[in-house]
Amino acid sequence: MTFGERLHRAMRDRGPLCVGIDPHAALLDAWRLADDVNGLETFARTVVEALAADVAVLKPQAAFFERHGSRGIAVLERVIAEARDAGALVLVDAKRGDIGSTMQAYADAFLRPSSPLCSDAVTASPYLGFGALRPLIDTALEHGNGVFVLARTSNPEGDEVQGARTADGRSVAGAVLDHARAVNAGATTWGSIGCVVGATVTLPAGEDLQIGGPLLAPGVGAQGATVADLAGVFGAALPSVLPNVSRDILRHGPDRTTLVSAARAMNSQVTDLLIGEDAGERGNDHDT
């Protein structure tokens, strides 16, 4: 199966929620863990053990592992493997973007099955030109994996670049969405190239978010957006949205039972909005 097909099935069966794994210093402290590789490992693997059998997608933020050096990367390798073994799809939030052989090296690291960092999908920055992502995209498609390309991010500074106009009058973000739509053309369910569109953004009139693939929506919770806000941002593209929630769930740790309860409550909210109550009941059958 392609990544788009696997993600579509996972969101149908488990609910349309992505939970971030963001072990930054403040959360480690809140969990009464040391800001070192041992605290990192306890935090990240607790989240995996609690949620990987329950949610559709887990999204480790690579930077919080990289800051601990080679031992932190080793923890990320274990987190990816254990989460996938438990049935969750893993989206590594690495936001890589480069050209030529360097872009291919990133693709080999995160999307080639022989790599210990291989995940189901990775985030990417298109601001060296969408075409520069072709090694990443081609490697993903070759191995049934996916890429989420930044389009309209949830940070307020993003509009300086993403809202700028190209020579043909489109916004830069609109051009990115168009490129993703072209790659996904012909997919039977969803294509495997998604875009990142923040739940906190205000979109210009006429910007088409229906790309034939998934839309990762950060910003729900700590960044200020609510589940109810998703309908106003995404409109007709709402069924393709994969809401990402991190701190609003992670703050309920380190108790595993409390983490599960928080994730299930949020999953129920987004399921009712994005899929509907009847589908939500089917998707939550695994909870009983």
Give φ, ψ of 17 to 5 degrees.
-125, 135
Task: Tell me, yes or no, whether 140 lies in a domain.
Answer: yes
Task: Tell me, yes or no, whether 194 lies in a domain.
Answer: yes
- Tokens representing 145 are 């994996």
The predicted model gives 17-21 an average pLDDT of 97
The predicted model gives 192-209 an average pLDDT of 90
CATH number of the domain residue 181 falls in: 3.20.20.70
Quick one: how far is CA 12 from the chain centroid?
A: 16
Q: How many CA atoms lie within 13 A of 217 on its CB side?
A: 32
Q: Return d(Cα 37, Cα 40) in angstroms, integer.
A: 5
For the chain, the first-to-last Cα distance in angstroms comes to 28
User: 91's torsion region: left (phi>0), alpha (psi -120 to 50) or beta?
Assistant: beta
Task: Tell me, yes or no, whether 143 lies in a domain.
Answer: yes
Residue at 128: amino acid letter: L
Instruction: Catalogue the long-range contacts made by 280-285 (C-beta closer than 8 Å, 24 or more residues apart).
Output: 280/15, 282/12, 283/11, 283/12, 283/13, 283/14, 283/15, 284/15
Task: Tell me, yes or no, whether 286 lies in a domain.
Answer: no
DSSP string, 11-48: HHHH-S-EEEE---HHHHHHTT--SSHHHHHHHHHHHH
Classify each residue of 175-214 as buried b or exposed e, where b means 16 or more C-beta atoms within 10 Å of its C-beta: bbbebbbebbeebeebbbbbbbbbbbbebeeebebebbbb
The predicted model gives 223-241 an average pLDDT of 91
Catalytic residue among 24, 45, 95, 251: 95
- Nearest partner of 93 among 123, 63, 129, 72, judged by Cα: 123
Report the predicted TM-score, pTM, of the whole model to 2 decimal places.
0.94
Task: Tell me, yes or no, whether 239 lies in a domain.
Answer: yes
Answer yes or no: is pLDDT of 220 > 70.
yes
Give φ, ψ of 67 to 5 degrees.
-65, -15
Q: Tell me whether residue 59 is one of the annotated catalytic residues.
A: no
Q: Return d(Cα 216, Cα 198) in angstroms, integer.
A: 8
The CA–CA distances, whole Å, from 131 to 127, 136, 137, 272 equal 10, 10, 10, 37
Answer yes or no: is pLDDT of 265 > 60.
yes
Task: Tell me, yes or no, whether 201 lies in a domain.
Answer: yes
Task: Tell me, yes or no, whether 183 lies in a domain.
Answer: yes
Cα dihedral sign, 21-257-46-85: negative
The predicted model gives 132-142 an average pLDDT of 98
The predicted model gives 135-149 an average pLDDT of 98
Which residues span the domain enclosing 195?
3-281
Total number of domains constituting the chain: 1
Q: Tokens 């438990």 map to which residue?
A: 86
Residue 279 banded pLDDT, cuts 50, 70, 90: very low
The CA–CA distances, whole Å, from 268 to 14, 151, 191, 281 equal 10, 27, 25, 9
The CA–CA distances, whole Å, from 274 to 178, 204, 238 equal 23, 22, 6
Q: Return d(Cα 171, Cα 194) in angstroms, integer.
A: 18
The total number of residues shown for the chain amounts to 288
Q: What is the pLDDT of residues 4-13, one digit of tens each?
A: 999 999 999 9
The predicted model gives 66-79 an average pLDDT of 98
Q: Tokens 């939030």 map to which residue?
A: 93
The more confidently predicted of residues 144 and 206 is 144
Contact 79, 60 (CB under 8 A): yes
Residue 223 banded pLDDT, cuts 50, 70, 90: confident
**Whole-number average pLDDT of the chain:** 93
